[in-house]
Chain A
Amino acid sequence: MNRLMLGNEAVARGLFEAGCKVVSSYPGTPSTEITEYAAKYEEIYAEWAPNEKVALEVALGASIGGARSFCAMKHVGLNVAADPLFVSSYTGVNGGLLIAVADDPGMHSSQNEQDSRHYAIAAKLPMLEPADSCECKEYVKKAYEISEQFDTPVLLRLSTRISHSQSNVELFDREEHALKDYKKDPAKYVMMPANAKGRHVVVEDRLAAMNEWCETSDLNAIEWADKKIGVITSGVCYQYVKEALGDKASVLKLGMINPMPTKLIQEFAAQVDTLYIAEELDPVIETHCNNIGVRAIGKKVFPLLGELSQKIIADVILGEKWEGKAMAEKLPVRPPVLCPGCPHRGLFYALNKTKVTVFGDIGCYTLGALPPLSSIDTTLCMGASISGLHGFNKARGEESAKNSVAVIGDSTFMHSGITGLIDIAYNEGISTIIILDNSITGMTGHQQNPTTGRTLKGDIVEKVSIEKVCEAVGIKRICVVDPLDVKALEEAVKRETQVAEPSVIISRRPCALLKSVKHEKPFTVNTDKCRSCKQCLKVGCPAISMKAGKAAIDWTLCVGCNLCKPLCPFDAIEAHKEEK
């Protein structure tokens, strides 16, 4: 049977077919759907872990326990999981262990565009890179074979265009793999210096063996065509090269990105007149070529930043310019915005009004940084709002704490906000933390987390209480506010920032996109009453704009959240007659 599948769905299908038993991940665009699709298979235990480090440790534990196991994350998630990653290279596996990492060249949905291939090299782990959905599935199966053959975790590198593109996939049945025996083996699994010294030797020997193995692996393949131009490439860049150059170039496609072959590349290079390397982000293949004495043209002509494309390849290698007719005028950009009816919009409106310094975090609430809300001062990485604010307040003294807050979502707080809060409580901090609890992991598309009371598989479980966690780590001032009550919110922020002790404000209301959240009738503007004061525009709701000099509400977007209505000094906002 054939089906169109997202790369991510195809990875999940590969897990199913390869007999994977345990999946643990933390959501992150563009990797999220792998784990969601994996959870649909009854044969696979799948969970959302609170963060990537925990997820990888769960997967590693399952592997030691003899099961084929898996863990997925976005590129920055691998930074969080780097600690177990590097040591798992030493311990090796029992059941096969596969770690998928999805890079985001072009930063469609990320805070940086780091190149995860460096991790494979640094941790001395094999890394495969599929070029379409079909390969996503097949490479998962190959990765498990490599993992068990060489006793190593294997990395699967994806990118946005692989994860979020659909292409044709042929489906096969699941091949069961019985749990392998678990035998106590401290020399392999207890990584203290004496044992780790022995394991480092194993790591180097394994790398040497894989170096040899990859020379003849069918993961790497040459497609001969015209030999005037040769291109070495991998992943989605292979597709760009094929589309742009067709049979005008011979192509060496690397399905294995670490280790890379030496002889195969040298032989390919020797037979083509001009050799290019088409790779996104850093010159990883190029550096390898330099190291083995192969001269090739790479980052001298291709960009280091952002994505490649068939257009760039055609331009650089063939000198072709692909253009279309464009509108003459400058068009307004359309940046992402907090959704219409986002219950937490009111908080950013209040923070902007009070002019406090705001340490922000990852997730939907990053969007509070954009105009007109413009209320966020910093966004770095998961959890950095809380710890960052603590440092800011320690540096600038007690007065600064009266005029600054941190904002973080519920899932991000679980991921790595708690440790920052412990630091504040333990080290006599006085910062004010606002936890925006929308009862879901929002930005990545509604994943459950420990505070939601549901697992990935849909089981109902005990919720982790944010209040009790805060209390347990030593925070005494904790209050809960409904963010649609802007006045109460403003008061809470004013009150809590002034006290010389740490406090947590929980701004609690579920995401407006949740199916369980009932939407009210959309509002409309009574143009007779509207005096064009534009007060309602200050909340930055995409449903409200000015039409012919008066405020107007787009009924297709408005969900009747009632944030704007009390802000109108002339009571011009009224319930709409029409249902949507």
Chain B
Amino acid sequence: MSDVKSVMIVGVGGQGSLLASRILGNVLLSQGFDVKMSEVHGMAQRGGSVVTYVKYGKKVYSPTVETGQADIIISFELLEGARYLSYLKKGGKVIINNQEIEPMPVITGAMEYPKEIPAKMKELGIDCSIVNALEVAKQVGSSKAVNVVLMGALSNTMEFDEQVWLDAVKQSVPEKFLEMNLKAFTMGRQLAL
């Protein structure tokens, strides 16, 4: 069996999952792994369901992750975590941001937003941690920092030193927002999982 590990970052277009994946990618590259990431651009980005795959190991072939393959799913939004749950490997981990963004079929009243998603995941025997990244992001001064807060939370489940992550944040965000993002990362890392 190959040593390749897979992380999925899922959320809603506009939540900043691209930046998050690039931080993670830079962490992994700095640790000498072969890394592949697959991103979504274009139409799907416009408020749609967005998924980014990050894979690393000695040698990575496919840039995508398939059902039953993901070691970690980090979800920026509750419904999107539920949507991609089947991608989780047996024994994998879900980190889910406790935020609801209603999709159009819910807004128009055609469907209901699913209730108690984390509880239902736990009922299925899934290792699932809920974090309140939006609350933390507000504390650091911008609702847009949710992505970096979540990378902080994710960093707890991976074996790399904090400094490696902080360097990757520095590499990935514009100078102007660096201080805020470093704070967002540090506070995210302090969240209990």
Contacts and interface: CB of A to CB of B under 8 A. Distances in A.
Contact of A323 (B68, B79, B107): B68
Interface stretch (A47-55, A265-273, A335-343): A335-343
A409 B80 CA distance: 31
Contacts of A444: 42
Interface in A1-41: 2-4, 6, 29-30, 32-33
Contacts, number: 205
A370 interface: yes
Given A309-B62, A364-B46, A332 B37 contact: no
B86 A324 contact: yes
B36 A580 contact: no
B46 A338 contact: yes
Contacts of A327: 82, 85, 114, 117, 120-121, 124
Contacts of B5: none
Contact of A324 (B67, B80, B102): B67
A141 B20 CA distance: 32
B14 A339 contact: yes
A221 to B, nearest CB: 15
B39 to A, nearest CB: 5
A166 B39 contact: yes
A427 B170 CA distance: 60
A164 B108 contact: no
Contact of A322 (B34, B69, B117): B69
A168 B87 contact: no
Contact of B43 (A6, A336, A540, A555): A336
B74 interface: no
A455 interface: no
Contacts of B134: 556
B80 A109 contact: no
A324 B68 contact: yes
Contact of B66 (A6, A246, A322): A322
Interface in B124-171: 124-126, 134, 142-144
A447 B47 CA distance: 19
Interface stretch (A224-232, A236-244, A398-406, A472-480): A236-244
Given A239-B63, A326-B85, A327-B114, A542 B107 contact: yes
A32 B38 CA distance: 16
Nearest to B53: A165
A561 to B, nearest CB: 15
Contacts of A322: 66-69
A540 B107 contact: yes
A132 interface: yes
A242 B68 contact: no
A289 to B, nearest CB: 24
Contacts of A328: 120
Given A311-B67, A335-B104, A4 B44 contact: no
A311 to B, nearest CB: 4
B67 A333 contact: no
A4 B43 contact: no
B114 A331 contact: yes
A167 interface: yes
B44 A166 contact: no
A4 B22 CA distance: 9
B176 interface: no
Contact of A168 (B34, B64, B68): B34
B49 interface: yes
Contacts of B143: 555-556, 580
Given A239-B61, A326-B86, A337 B48 contact: yes
B25 interface: yes
Given A335-B48, A545-B106, A324 B88 contact: yes
Interface string A533-550: 000010010101110000
Interface in B59-115: 60-64, 66-70, 79-80, 82-83, 85-90, 101-114
Contacts of A165: 36-39, 63-64
A443 B48 CA distance: 13
B47 A339 contact: yes
A498 interface: no
A243 B42 contact: no
B7 interface: no
A371 B38 contact: no
B178 interface: no
A324 B42 contact: no
Contacts of B60: 167
A296 to B, nearest CB: 22
B105 A324 contact: no
Interface in A88-117: 108-109
A334 B48 contact: yes
A21 to B, nearest CB: 27
A340 B143 CA distance: 15
B40 interface: yes
B2 interface: yes
Contacts of A4: 22, 25-26, 29, 35, 37
Nearest to A326: B86
Contacts of B120: 327-328
16 contacts: A109-B42, A165-B64, A243-B62, A246-B2, A322-B67, A323-B67, A325-B85, A325-B86, A325-B88, A325-B126, A326-B86, A328-B120, A332-B105, A445-B41, A542-B47, A544-B107
Interface of A: 2-4, 6, 29-30, 32-33, 108-109, 132, 161, 164-168, 236, 238-240, 242-243, 246, 309-311, 322-340, 364, 366-367, 370-372, 443-445, 537, 540, 542, 544-546, 554-557, 580
Enumerate the 10 nearest inter-chain pairs by beta-carbon distance, A residue then B residue, closest first.
A29-B42, A109-B42, A336-B48, A165-B63, A334-B103, A311-B66, A326-B86, A324-B86, A336-B46, A109-B43
Given A4-B29, A336-B43, 16 more contacts: A4-B25, A164-B40, A166-B35, A242-B61, A246-B2, A327-B121, A332-B111, A334-B49, A335-B48, A336-B45, A339-B46, A364-B46, A372-B108, A545-B106, A545-B107, A546-B109
